[in-house]
Chain A
C-alpha cells in the first residue's frame, strides 16, 4: 500500500533532471530507434512494447501525411488567393464545346483552409507529445529505470493522466464549434465578402475595418456604440439597484410569506424570453393592451407609440430600459436575497443600537457588502447587456428606423446591428465580422479594467 502511494506522489511531476535534457542530447546520444522516432512517430514506443501509444502515434502520422498530400496542400495553396476564379466565365473545352466555369466558392475554400491550419496545429501538438514521450523513454533508459508497460501506460489514463482522457471529447467540441467558427469569422473581417462578392471574395487586408471606423459605416458605428454603452450602463445599474431594493423589501422584518412574494417576481424571469418579449411588444403596441388601459382610465387621450416604427427614438429607448428592468430585476433580486440572508447580522444590530436608521444601515452597511460580493457578477451582467440581443431583437427589432444609420435603428445595439448586416438587406459579412472583433475588444477591455480594479479593491 505504501509503495503504491509513493508512486502516485512522484509520478505526476516531471523530474528536474528530465526537464534539463535538451533536444540535441536526445538526438545525439539516443540509440537509432530514438533518432528515428524524430521522423517516424511511435517507433521507440513500439520498440519498448508500449503498443497502444506507439501504434496510435504511427497511424496518426501516416494519416496526417496522407491527408496532407491528397487534400491538405491544395487547401493551403488555395487559401492565399481564396480561389483563382473570381468571375463566371465561359471557356471552350478540348472537344470544342463551350463550358461555363462557375467562380470558386471562397466561403468553402476559406473554411477548408482554416480546418487545414487547425489540423496542422493539432499535428504539431501531437509531434511535441511524441517528442516528450521519446525523451521520457531516453531518460528512463539513461537512468536505468523500469519502462512503464503497455498496461501501466493505459492505467495512467485513468489516474495521473485522467485529465487528458476526460478533456479529449469536450475539447474537440470546443475546437469545432467555438474556436474554428470564431477564427473563421475573424478572418472574414480581412476580406471583401459582401453582397457584391457573395461567392468569390478576396483578401483585402484592413479595408473593412476602414469602412467601419472611418468609412461609410462610421456614421452608424459610433452612435450605435454610444447607445450600446449607455444602454449597458443604465440597464445594469437599474436592474441591480431595483433588485437589491426589492430583495431588501421582501426580506425586511414583518413581511410574511417571503417565498410567495419572491415566486411572483421569479415567474417573469422563468418564462422564456422569446415569449415574454414578443408579448411585451404586443402589449406596448400602439393598438395594444397598455394603451387601451391608459385610454380607458383617461390618463392619455391619444395612444402612445412606445416602440413602433414611427415612435420617438427617446421614448423607444426609455421603454426598452423599463422592459429590461421588468425582466432583469427578479434575477438581481434572487441573487441579492441570497447575499442578504448571509450577511452578518451583528453589524446591523450594532448600528441599530447606535441609532442608525434603516436608510443609513442600507447605505453604509448592507449596500456596500452586496456591491462587494456582486461586483464580478455585475461585470458579467454589464458585458451581457452589451451583447443583449434578445431584448432588442424581440422587443423593438431595432425600431424606430434611423434614416441617418446604415441598416440600424435607434434602439439597435452593436450585436443586433451585426445581425442586420449579416441577415438583413445589406449582407455586409465582412463589416459584420469587423463589428464582432470590435465588440470583442470593447468586452475584453472593460472586463480587463474592471477585474483589475476589483482585485485592487479586494487587496486594499
Chain B
C-alpha cells in the first residue's frame, strides 16, 4: 500500500514538472514580447531577454506618432469602425443563414450545403485579385470595401452556428407552429432568444477578425501608401516592419508595443470565449 502511495506521489510530481516545463516553453515567447515592448532600444533588435532599462516610451511614442507615418490612433479608430460595422452585419447574416439551413426545408438546401463546402476548398487568395478589381470597379478601395469583403464572406461562415441550431430541439418549433405561430414568429420569438450564446460568439469572432487580418486589408488599403491614416491596425503594424526601408529597425520596439496593445484585449476575449469555441468545433465535428 505504501509503495503504491509513493508511486503515485512520484508520478504526480513528474507530471507537475513536465507540465511546468511545457508551460514555460509555451509562455516564454509571450513574456519576451511583453518585455521587449518595455525595452529601451532604438537599434531595432531586441536580443536580450530582460531589458536593461524598463520604459513605457514605446507606448507613448506610438500614440504621439512623432514620425508622422504611423498614425496609430487613426488605425485604432479605423479598425474599430470596420470591426463594429462588420460584426453587426456579419452576425446578422451568419445567424439568419445558419438558422435557415438548420431549421427550414426547401428544395435548394442540400445543394447549397454542398456548394458551400466546395467553395470553401478554393484557396482564399485566388479570389483576392478578383475582389481587388471588383472593389476598384465600384470605387470602393477603402474601409467600406473592406467591410464589404468581411461581410460578403459571412454567408458561408455558418457551420458553427448551424451546429448550434441543430442542437435546439425541433419539438419547440412544432409546438409553436401548432399554436398558430408562423415561421418568422418562431424565429424571432423562440429561436433567437434561445441562441444568445451563439450570437455573442459569432459577433465576437466577427469583431476580432478585422483586428487580426492583415492580408485583405493590405490588398485593399495597401495601394494607398501615401495615406497611412487609412490603414487598419493589423496592416498598419505590418507595414511598420515591412513596407518602409529602415523602419523595421527604427520602429521595432514601437511595433511590439502596438502588438501588445491589440493582443491583450483579444486574448482576454478569447480566453473568456474558449468554451464556446470548443463547443463549436466539437459540435461541427460530430456531424461529420
| Chain A positions 246 through 275: 1 when the CB is less than 8 Å from some CB of chain B, otherwise 0 | 100110101100000111111111111111
CB-based contact A166/B97 at 8 Å: yes
What is the size, in residues, of chain B's interface with A at 8 Å between Cβ atoms?
92
B49 interface residue per 8 A CB criterion: yes
Contact of A174 with B104 at beta-carbon distance under 8 Å, contacts A270-B270, A373-B282 already known: no
Residues of chain B within 8 A (CB-CB) of A160 are 183
B4 interface residue per 8 A CB criterion: no
CB-based contact B215/A389 at 8 Å: yes
Interface residues of A in 270-293 (CB under 8 A from B): 270-276, 278-280, 282-283, 285, 287-289, 291-293
A374 to B118, CA, bound (A): 21
Residues of chain A within 8 A (CB-CB) of B281 are 334-335, 338, 377
CB-based contact B214/A274 at 8 Å: yes
Q: Which of B26-34, B63-71, B194-202 forms part of the interface with chain A?
A: B26-34
Contact of A177 with B152 at beta-carbon distance under 8 Å, contacts A289-B48, A293-B49, A374-B285 already known: yes
| Chain B positions 42 through 77: 1 when the CB is less than 8 Å from some CB of chain A, otherwise 0 | 000111110000000000000000000000000000
CB-based contact A338/B119 at 8 Å: no
A108 interface residue per 8 A CB criterion: yes
CB-based contact A415/B125 at 8 Å: yes
Contact of B15 among A255, A269, A383 (CB under 8 A): A255
Contact of A170 with B266 at beta-carbon distance under 8 Å, contacts A162-B187, A181-B126, A249-B15 already known: no
CB distance from B33 to the nearest CB of A (A): 5
* A167-B96, A263-B271 given; 11 more Cβ-contact pairs under 8 Å: A158-B182, A158-B183, A163-B100, A166-B96, A173-B153, A185-B129, A266-B274, A270-B271, A272-B212, A389-B124, A389-B125
CB-based contact A335/B278 at 8 Å: yes
A22 interface residue per 8 A CB criterion: no
Contact of B155 among A159, A173, A292, A451 (CB under 8 A): A173
B residues with a Cβ closer than 8 A to A are 8, 12, 15-16, 18-19, 22-23, 25-27, 29-30, 32-33, 36, 45-49, 93, 96-97, 99-100, 104-106, 109, 116, 118-119, 121-131, 133-134, 137, 148-149, 151-156, 177-178, 180, 182-185, 187, 211-212, 214-215, 234, 237-238, 241, 252, 256, 259, 262-263, 266-267, 269-271, 274, 277-279, 281-282, 284-288
Give the interface SS of chain B, mostly helix, strand, loop or mixed. Answer: helix
A454 interface residue per 8 A CB criterion: yes
Residues of chain B within 8 A (CB-CB) of A444 are 118, 121
Give the interface SS of chain A, mostly helix, strand, loop or mixed. Answer: helix
A432 to B127, CA, bound (A): 11
Residues of chain B within 8 A (CB-CB) of A458 are 288
CB-based contact A447/B27 at 8 Å: no
Residues of chain B within 8 A (CB-CB) of A119 are none
Residues of chain B within 8 A (CB-CB) of A264 are 23, 26-27
